[in-house]
Amino acid sequence: MKALSQRRRHPLAAVALLLMALLATGGIYAAASTANEAQAQTTTFTANDVDEGSKLFAANCASCHGMGATGSDAAPSLVGVGAASVDFQVGSGRMPMQMDGPQAQVKPVQFDDEQIRQMAAYVASLGAGPAIPSDEILDPAEGDSSAGGELFRVNCAMCHNAAAAGGALTRGKYAPSLEGTSEKHIYEAMVTGPQNMPVFSDANITPEDKQDIIAFLKTIEEQGSPGGADLGSLGPVSEGLFIWVAGLGVIIAFTVWLTSRSS
């Protein structure tokens, strides 16, 4: 008993216990993150998808991103960005870029769904990254729009505006309006962090919470502007400007009318 008691009071005992606690915490966190990601993943790709995707990538993307997607002076490496990043960037028309600028502009999509899937498969084969979400986690009918609204205002509204109308950022960049954006692209943007957007991993915002945000965005999109003209949904600045200009116009018109009466 005396020897056991001495070992318990060993100077390294506290360090050993701390290391064990850290390892246990890390293991639990990794397991939880993997479980969350598994909820949102879609079907796997075939070897043919990867092969065809590599050909499309070499013909359309390698001039900037380099052979093997390892990056260049013109564009970053795509190793580890995942299939979701390719599906978002190419599926929304942002890639391939039309011209250099502060950020990629939305334009007509240049590839069909099968080609986008094949390029996503190729990039996914280069390293682990966010997967294309499944249809089940994208259904806004299964989400809670009220909870999603709260999450959106806390995490997204400072850039995208509380009404998701978008807003200006620094150095010519901007957060785009989310009106008309598909459920899949909204989800993929959250997990990949395109342009200036931060990454909201499943450890930060769970797949269910992302589904709630999608439900909120689709709800306000369907409702439109029940209070009348939304004036760009830019808040009190645009509304105040409208009142100032309209009010000033009324005052000038009234002044002209009085002058004409007196003469």
What's the token pair of residue 183? 């459920």
The structure tokens listed for 90 are 């190419």
Locate 88 and state its tokens: 């978002």
List the structure tokens of 48. Answer: 């043919």
Question: Is 232 labeled as ligand-binding?
Answer: no
Backbone Cα Rg of the chain: 26
As a whole number of angstroms, the distance between CA 207 and CA 138 comes to: 9
Start-to-end CA span in the chain (Å): 115
Whether residue 61 is annotated as binding a ligand: the answer is yes
156 annotated ligand binder: yes
* Residue 160 marked in a binding site: yes
| Strand runs labelled E in the chain | 167-168, 174-175
Backbone angles phi, psi at 133, to 5 degrees: -70, 155
CA 137, 143, 149: angle at the middle one, nearest 5? 120
Amino acid at 228: G
- Does the annotation place 179 within a ligand binding site? no
> Helix (H, G, I), strand (E, B), or coil: what is residue 41?
strand
Please count the CA atoms within 13 angstroms of the CA of 17 that sit on its side-chain side. 7
46 marked ligand binding residue: no
Contacts of 192 (CB under 8 A, 6+ apart): 81, 82, 84, 85, 88, 129, 130, 199
Binding region for heme c: 61, 64-65, 156, 159-160
Binding region: 61, 64-65, 156, 159-160
